[in-house]
Structure 1
Amino acid sequence: MSRVLVVDDEPQIVRALAINLRARGYEVSTAGDGGEALLVAASHPPDVVILDLGLPDLDGVDVIAGIRGWSSVPILVLSGRSDSVDKVDALDAGADDYVTKPFGMDELMARLRSLLRRTTPAESQPVVEFGDVRVDLAATRVSVGGTEVRLTPTEWHLLEVLVRHPGKLLSHRQLLAEVWGPGYETAQGNLRLYVAQLRRKLEPDPSRPRFLRTEPGMGYRFQP
């Protein structure tokens, strides 16, 4: 039974989420503010956190940073803030995904299941497969339909970062810092170019990508 910590200051949302989660077999803990959330997370470590950004005592981004100080538990941000800057701040602080209020319960549960599937990280899996693509992380080789595909070092590094975080929404800043390093955090043109190159080499239809997906204004997601 997976443990879910729901953090929100709106009782009706907490109640609805708790009912739906328990009906699906999850164990549920709740918190109404950031301070309580940090205490509950530390005393009863959850398998996943559903976190509202607009809390009465702490900003949700600060709660994310507090949890990330000691845990890599998946964090699904749930918020009424529509500004992409808020979403990117949450992702950069360590959130794994983002759902905007009002939300559909089926969509939220699907995102939750995707995050829980990542409890066995790709770091322990030497080979990642999706569609006709086979990525051998140990041998640094990629093949499509059994035919090896040559990638540049930058293309490989970008693909490696994405496939090691299946289902996770990675912000532009996160990807640029990881692949290109300090000083490139705003070089989004580089990122778009290399994502397009990977899609041409790996996607069945690069104009309608199935696996290397764009989240407009926020970043990219590898969806196996």
Structure 2
Amino acid sequence: MLMFRRRARPAASAVFLTLALAWSPAPVLAADRPEEAAALVSGLATEVAALPADGAARQELRRIYRARFDGRALALGALGRYARLLPAERTADYLAAFEDHVLARFGARIDAHGHDLVVGGVREAGEDRLIVSSMLPRDPEPPLMIEWVLAPPADGDVPAPDAPLRIVDVVVDGDSLVDDRRQAFLPEVRRGGVAALLADLRRPGRHADLAPLAAPPRSVPQPQPKPTLPN
């Protein structure tokens, strides 16, 4: 009697998965989007330059922050390894308090008589991040060198590479916003946990001593000759 052995066939789910992967477009890496990164920073400069000189400025600044920054990445980055101690039910409170803190602290730097933010080159920082260089003249003081770190926001813990780029850090003259806030928050977190930090951020008068520290970005024709910026 002749015996025939049936050839093993792949499971249907495996076949469908293979086809799906074959026809799905490859994710767009942040490193492949330098024009988008430069346009985001230039657009930020334009919007900040157009802030109204009245009480509506703070609300408009909040809208700009939410549209162009990844507030979650900034806030959790400022907690560093202590972010895992943040209870899920307090996350929304902390993100809101951090947003208020950033807008109060760095919104105080905006001066209606600022100079021009000169946007320079874009360079890669791995596959998922881009850095946009810029310079803020402050005559007669030396200019501020500002680097804007951009990445696609994550959907929870899952990266979303095709999402629009957002600012995840700002480095001013070599000082990172995320690192600076982490160092500032560390004593409170060590003393009483995230709850103590949250209470401190919400403390009345927390930002009463802030004063303008730098001119705002302005988006107008660049001066000639164009300053040389590091790539």
With the length of structure 1 as denominator, give the TM-score of the two structures: 0.26
Instruction: Indicate the structure (1 or 2) with the bigger Cα radius of gyration.
Output: 2
TM-score (norm. length: structure 2) = 0.25
Higher relative contact order (CA closer than 8 Å, sequence separation 6+): 2
